[in-house]
Amino acid sequence: MKKGTKSKSDLVLTKKEPEKKLTIPLKKTGGRGNTGKITVRHKGGEEKRKYRIIDFGQEKIGIPAKVEAIEYDPNRSAFIMLLLYKNGKKAYQLAPEGIKIGDEIICQEDAPLKIGNRLKLKNIPVGSEVFNVELFPGKGGQIVRGAGTFAQVLSHENDYVQLSLPSKEVRRFSGECFATIGRVSNIEHKTRKLKKAGDSRHRGIRPAVRGTAMNPRDHPHGGGEGRTPIGLKYPKTPWGKPARGVKTRKKHKWSDKYIVKRRK
């Protein structure tokens, strides 16, 4: 989306360059690791861009901030907002849906229930929508950060709060964890379609060849005449490991005790 245009989510992006002090160069890897060998396939050739330093935590607790701008961030699906704090400092944060330029927000343990305010889960009533949720107190928001996503507060039990996550998983969080009120901006992101091959190339996604179109020596799915099926008990990766639908979560993981209901 071009800067200065209006999205379907009713957020107007500010027509300005990103804040210079809040950006750093973003090095391209081309999918290669520290040895120079490809570790992630189908990556490379993306547009040059700068990384915006986002405050996912609570760096300035108790200091009110005013929304100065709402900007596009090429590094994430959501929009970001530029905040000007009362002490003169500036910072980027994820923009919630419905925020406007000139609005005032605050991060505080028991802040008012207002879109954009950040407070502890134990002080957020049941039924509220939250995003940028902490997994561990003081570590900063780690989940529910994608465009249009939100988690819902289901219940309070002793020192824990139950949240229904975007994946429909129900999970317990410490009441001391911080979360932001509202849902992430750019709700229409999931409906956007790439119009041409170049759209993928600009995003650093290189072409992928189907395994069934390869020779047997190049892929387990390869070989045969014409459009043959996989011909195996289950799909495999080029290295012979199970693929497509295989469970990757460890059994008896330490966080199992916090999960009330598995995602579907």
pLDDT tens-place string over residues 206-247: 999 999 999 999 999 999 998 899 989 999 999 999 999 898
Identify the structural domains of the chain with CATH numbers, from first to last.
20-188 (2.30.30.30)
Q: In this structure, how many other beta carbons lie within 10 angstroms of the beta carbon of residue 143? A: 19
In this prediction, residue 9 carries a pLDDT of: 63
**C-alpha count within 13 angstroms, C-beta hemisphere, residue 176:** 5
pLDDT tens-place string over residues 81-110: 999 999 999 999 999 999 999 999 999 999
* Separation CA 106–CA 82 (nearest Å): 13
Residue indicated by tokens 């305010």: 117
pLDDT tens-place string over residues 165-221: 999 999 999 999 999 999 999 999 999 999 999 999 999 999 999 999 999 999 999
What pTM does this model have?
0.88
